[in-house]
Amino acid sequence: MTLNKTLVDEVIRLTKKYYETNDIDYLPTLIEAKEVLKENATWQTVDLVNYLAQYTQVSGKGTYDDIYKALAIFGIIVEDKEIENE
């Protein structure tokens, strides 16, 4: 499975921001970003991205590249690609 880096990065960014600040104002945007990512992936994949981002934020360890490497272990490749306009 290949995922768009821009979409994955947005879910990671918003998840990390939410767990950094605990500001519920981030939740609607995070939920929307996850829904967009779900158009190209299973809900399990989206949850995995979310949990990895949460772990890196809470633990203070790990980078975006580490998340991409962890996803690759499960056969999920994150790469730059054009977002199709509908």
- Taking only the tens place, the pLDDT of each residue in 54-71 is 999 999 998 999 999 999
The runs of H, that is alpha helices, within 1-86 are: 5-21, 27-38, 43-59, 64-73
Predicted pLDDT of residue 86? 43
pLDDT at residue 82, as a whole number: 64
